Amino acid sequence: MPSPTDPAALYPDIAACGRLGTALRAESEGCLDAVPVTSPGPDPLLRAIVASTLPHREPLQISAWSHERRWSIRGTEALQSMPLIDGKTDDLAEVARAARAWHDGAALDDIRRAAPFVHLTGRFEVPDHDPARLTESEWQSMRLEAGELESAWQETYQALIEAAHSEPALRALYPFTSHWALRFSTTTRPRLTVVGPCLTANSDGMYGVGKGFIIEDLGRFATAHEAVALAARQLPSGLGPIALGG
């Protein structure tokens, strides 16, 4: 007998179709009939991709969970491969509606209206790859993510992100995180050019500033604004406008 983690045990209907892509098309009530849907790779029951008509969108990634009957989606933009939408659902018909909207180039809000399980990451589409707009998009996503966190230190982390965004010298830089430490770059992804110090929000409610990665050698502060003010003073002079990375 198949084990509980065998795809055929969790997804006997998908196994009967042979591929997730085939099952997705069958579940779509015809809305995917003319849409490219494939299930590449060694796990055709667990993965499908749906192409988009927009060149700045990568194909929508659809993944089946391996320990629970559920599907996740991830739709990224092509330049940086950063997600514009994601989401999880146990309704394959909803996945099909999201896939059709993604393929057709529907606006991100309209994709969510078509399939309410879709989660918008806060990033917006920048088809012309304008680095200033990409930076603005990344800040918007980071602020949304900070507000959605379910963690004991969510308020501390969110206060750091908001304080950094309110500082013009830092807001002009491209933000990114590594292990939840806030850092800055003078170029966008896919190739970052790190500049300035590292900012951390700690579980004890304190904020750290350091020259290196998660090293608070420049100080610890009781408020996010104090830490951000020091980080801004540590930036090198003469920084130009944000450029595309890579």
Q: What is the pLDDT of residues 5-23, one digit of tens each?
A: 688 899 999 999 999 999 9
Q: What is the CA radius of gyration of the chain?
A: 21
Mean pLDDT of 31-45: 93
What pLDDT is stored for residue 214 in this prediction? 67
pLDDT at 2 over 60: no
Query: What dihedral angle (degrees, nearest 10) is formed by the CA atoms of 145, 150, 155, 156?
Result: -90
CB 7 within 8 A of CB 46: yes
Read off the pLDDT band of 178 (50, 70, 90): confident
pLDDT at 151 over 50: yes
d(CA 65, CA 20) in angstroms, rounded, equals 12
3-class SS of residue 104: helix
What pLDDT is stored for residue 216 in this prediction? 80
Residue 86, CA distances (Å) to 99, 111, 198 in order:
11, 11, 28
Read off the pLDDT band of 179 (50, 70, 90): confident
Mean pLDDT of 138-166: 96
What pLDDT is stored for residue 6 in this prediction? 86
Owner of token pair 């009530």 = 29
Q: Which amino acid is at 79?
A: L
Paired with 48 in beta bridges are 62
What pLDDT is stored for residue 212 in this prediction? 77
Integer distance in angstroms from the first to the last C-alpha of the chain? 51
pLDDT at 25 over 60: yes
pLDDT at 3 over 90: no
Q: What is the pLDDT of residues 73-132, one digit of tens each?
A: 999 999 999 999 999 999 999 999 999 999 999 999 999 999 999 999 999 999 999 999
For residue 99, give every residue at least 6 positions away whose Cβ sits within 8 Å of its Cβ, in sequence order, or none: 24, 28, 32, 35, 37, 50, 60, 62, 73
pLDDT at 195 over 60: yes
Give this prediction's pTM: 0.93
Paired with 210 in beta bridges are 198
d(CA 194, CA 213) in angstroms, rounded, equals 11
Mean pLDDT of the chain: 95
Read off the pLDDT band of 246 (50, 70, 90): confident
Indicate the domain borders of the chain.
7-120, 131-233
